[in-house]
Amino acid sequence: MRKGLWIVFMASAVLFALTLSGLFYQASKENVKIKFLTFANEHGPYPLYSVCMKETILPFAGEYTIEGPNATVITAEGKFNESFTTKLRGVGVTAVLRKDGETVITLKPRVKFPLLNLATIVVIGGVVGYALRVLKLE
């Protein structure tokens, strides 16, 4: 029975590591795409610009990269143009556009995979399993 307990402990550590890595992988693929449709009239003496704004909810709080022409993200922490970090999920996206048609602004999450933490969990599980088996601490 004690060997079975060791196998269950090791299997749970490995499954936890795999589940954690799967969650981080899935979170890194959650891009937020915001589409703005503008109509510009170029017949006047001055160029026309469109100011667009949309409020959106991010899949999770954290660090994001902004991809798109002339876009600004407004969060509770301030205004950002290239990348931002937020503790809240609600943000506002603004863009000043000159061209007509559809413009897509993408917010891509930056997910850092905690490889050191994952390796530490697996090593600790192995050391505890070894100690239980060899030193007969069961």
pLDDT at site 91: 93
Whether 67 shows a pLDDT value over 80: the answer reads: yes
3-state secondary structure 113-137: CCHHHHHHHHHHHHHHHHHHHHCCC
Confidence of residue 47 (pLDDT cuts 50, 70, 90): confident
| 81-98 burial: b if 16+ Cβ within 10 Å, else e | eeebebeeeebebbbebe
More confident residue, 76 or 46: 76
pLDDT in tens, 76-126: 889 998 889 888 889 999 998 877 788 899 999 887 766 777 677 777 777
CA distance 99 to 43: 13
Domains of the chain, by residue range, sit at 2-134
